[in-house]
Amino acid sequence: MNIIDFLEKAALRFPNHISVVSGENRLTNKELLERIYRLGNALINLGLKKGERVAVLMHNCHQIVESFYGIASAGLVLVPMNFRNSGPEH
């Protein structure tokens, strides 16, 4: 069992329940899972291979949740970066 399995079960059992709230944005379990798979597939289609790292630099928002799970669904490794750091610190 992996981290995506929990989301798949939630989407099957409760597809219309709200899963993520970010400002005015609301995503149901089903919508979140679809967006996660779309991102994971896009990363694979870009040529990324299982185990490769993907750096993510963004503010706290619903896309960070999608990135966390989408990257994992593709078998990739998330490297979170702090948006407060300066260029040279990255």
Domain at 40, CATH number: 3.40.50.980
* H or E segment and range at residue 21: strand 18-22
The count of structural domains within the chain is: 1
Is residue 89 assigned to a domain?
no
Q: Tell me which of 17-21, 27-31, 45-49, 58-62 is least confident.
A: 58-62
Q: Is residue 53 part of a domain?
A: yes
Would 33 be classed as within a structural domain?
Answer: yes
- What burial letters (b/e) apply to 31-45, b meaning 16+ CB within 10 Å? bbbebbbebbeebee
Beta partners for residue 54, in sequence order: 78
Specify the pLDDT at position 84.
78
Residue 74 is assigned to a structural domain of this protein = yes
Task: Read off the pTM.
Answer: 0.87
> Which of 36, 41, 35, 67 is closest to 54 using CA atoms?
67
Say if 28 falls within a structural domain: yes
* Domain annotation covers residue 54: yes
> Does 29 score more than 90 pLDDT?
yes
Q: For residue 42, is it within any domain? A: yes
- Tell me the mean pLDDT in the region 1-19: 92
Q: What is the mean pLDDT of residues 2-27?
A: 94
Residue 72 in domain? yes
Q: Which of 69, 5, 77 is nearest to 48 (CA)?
A: 77
Residue whose structure tokens are 């630099």: 57
- How confident is the model over 32-55, as a mean pLDDT? 97
Q: What is the mean pLDDT of the chain?
A: 93
Show the domain range for 74.
3-81
- Above 90 in pLDDT, residue 82? no
